Structure 1
């Protein structure tokens, strides 16, 4: 894996607006970048976040259940790797999954809250990763 800095300024508003404007295409690009960056930051944990092709195919085959599992795994992976960077995330995969499922009853707003948790935790971990990267240089 590479040693390039990881983007730290992702935001839920930008994700939401760009996803709406592009009729959902941006959301797939976002997931691709998210999986790539999480795999870089967590590369030595013995796990791997599947990429966009697996996400789309398996979500289609399982009528969307794989997407819920994918988000759940990302939430857990971020929480498990946070101590490596001196961080501690209260939210885990169960929190993300509950927002996805129960939040569906709130006119779909739960997905936005779940993505906000993932974005917030990814940005925090990316900031710590970049600091560590700068220290190596």
Structure 2
């Protein structure tokens, strides 16, 4: 698992009129689950399907759960975590700043990846024994 450039992800999302954003959502879901060692939402593919079927409403739930997931992943490593990040992501999305929420989620994922790399931590093994 590698860190993703937030700036490039935003640029690619804008250039592709949101298509890269769908892929980004998929990847963030899978990476967050991998970092925690268990699923907290539907799989990445199902998140995309549910979001499309509900005309975007499921994405609000997903953002909230990604906030909780990354908070839990950080806390299990002894990192500082904001317990209200999921709520922040929803508020940003309500005000048409969902891309900012994506950037913040990716930033949290990158922070955990950095922490693991610096401390020699291994991925949790409950869900991904071959990772």
Q: TM-score range by the shorter chain?
A: 0.7 to 0.9
Deviations along 1:106-130, one digit per CA (max 9) or x if unpaired, are xxxx223212211111111112233
1:78 CA drift (Å): 0.5
d(CA) in 2 for partners of 1:61 and 1:29? 16
Partner residue of 1:74? 66
Partner residue of 1:17? 11
TM-score (norm 2): 0.78
d(CA) in 1 for partners of 2:48 and 2:63? 13
1:22 CA drift (Å): 2.5
Equivalenced residues, count? 120
1:86 CA drift (Å): 2.0
SS at match of 2:79: coil
- 5+ residue gaps, structure 2, are 124-131
Partner residue of 2:122? 133
Report whether the alignment pairs 1:40 with 2:42. no
Partner residue of 2:129? none
The alignment's C-alpha RMSD in Å is 2.1
Q: Which runs of 4+ in 1 moved over 4 A?
A: none
Q: Rg: which structure is higher? A: 1
d(CA) in 1 for partners of 2:114 and 2:77? 9
- 5+ residue gaps, structure 1, are 1-5, 105-109
1:66 CA drift (Å): 0.3
Partner residue of 2:53? 61
- Say if 1:72 and 1:93, in contact at 8 Å, map to a contact too: yes
Report whether the alignment pairs 1:87 with 2:79. yes
Structure with higher helix content: 1
d(CA) in 1 for partners of 2:99 and 2:42? 21
- Say if 2:13 and 2:20, in contact at 8 Å, map to a contact too: yes
Report whether the alignment pairs 1:96 with 2:85. no
